[in-house]
Amino acid sequence: MNSLRLDGKVAIVTGGGGGIGREIVRILAQRGATCLIADLVDRKALVSELELTGLSVESAVLDVTRSEDVNSYARAMKQRLGCISILVNCAGGGERIGFLETSDKGWFADINSNLTGTFFMMRAVLPAMLEQNDGAIVNVSSISGIIGGLPSKGNEGRSGPAYAASKGGIIALTKWAAREFGKHGIRVNAIAPGPVPAGADMSGYDYGVEDYPIPRFGTPQDMAEAVAYLASPAAAYITGECIKIAGGVGM
């Protein structure tokens, strides 16, 4: 038996239409999971693209910062599909802005989309996982949540303080839940990506990747492979960890 396979698993991927998120969806589905994309935008085009290759994928519009909507969605998926095996929290975003320039609105936007949304999704799916006595949660944090953001040699490119705080909070939340639910067969881990273009406009941002131990940008596939591993039976004895996937930065 291939311990990296995910046959029979149902995986929810928030932010599954973004650069990293869509690669996570692709790899989880390729390994046998039924993937549910939960995103602010209906990702019908992505679903059609992946279905043409024989993969099991569907999409729903969901704002992870709205707890009632998140709870309703999780209940509906559990009722219709019978289980929720994997949750990947990839939804979120952030401003590239200085500390003193960060507004109240900007602060709460980043905290809510990254940290609060992750909490709402975890709280919503955990009852199903507890009932099953099985589950894997992988949260997408950031190297910014560990070292406070990557400096840019070019234009202002460092992620803002709200983003760093929210991503650091995700790591703490991951560890808290791992301690609480490990005895129930539920593993909770995180990844901390370094700089990944992932479709974003990186012009003017010189992160000095040529000086990294692995001298290149990360790719969405780099991130997705780590997520798929942590979600798989191959990582059955791993919980409460945050794996830095940043080319050696922050070691």
pLDDT tens-digit readout, 138-175: 999 999 999 998 777 655 567 899 999 999 999 999 99
Q: How far is CA 204 from CA 68, 153, 155, in A?
A: 40, 9, 5
For residue 207, indicate whether it is catalytic: no
**pLDDT digits over 66-107, tens only?**
999 999 999 999 999 999 999 999 999 998 888 999 999 999
Judged by DSSP in three states, 203 sits in coil
> Smallest Cα–Cα separation from 19: which of 209, 235, 202, 159?
202
pLDDT of residue 19 exceeding 60, the answer is: yes
> Smallest Cα–Cα separation from 227: which of 25, 35, 73?
25
Residue ranges per domain, the chain?
Answer: 10-245
- Whose tokens are 């509906």? That residue is 76
Rounded to whole angstroms, the Cα distance separating 167 from 141 reads: 5
Helix 220-231 with 19-30: angle, nearest 10 deg: 50
pLDDT of residue 199 exceeding 70, the answer is: no
b/e code 59-87 from CB counts within 10 Å (16+ = b): beebbbbebebbbebbeebbeeeebbbbb
Which tokens sit at 10?
């149902």
> Smallest Cα–Cα separation from 9: which of 21, 27, 19, 23?
27
Which tokens sit at 96?
């590239």
Burial of 98 (0-12, 13-18, 19+ CB in 10 A): exposed
Residue of 73, 163, 205, 207 with catalytic role = 163
The fold of the 10-245 domain, in CATH, is Rossmann fold (3.40.50)
**pLDDT digits over 112-140, tens only?**
999 999 999 999 999 999 999 999 999 99
Q: Residue 198's pLDDT is what? A: 65
Q: Residue 197's pLDDT is what? A: 85
Instruction: Cite the beta strand spans of 10-64 per DSSP E.
Output: 10-14, 34-39, 57-61
Burial of 34 (0-12, 13-18, 19+ CB in 10 A): buried
> What pTM does this model have?
0.96
Judged by DSSP in three states, 250 sits in coil
Instruction: Cite the beta strand spans of the chain per DSSP E.
Output: 10-14, 34-39, 57-61, 86-89, 135-140, 186-193, 242-245
Q: How confident is the model at residue 236 (pLDDT cuts 50, 70, 90)?
A: very high
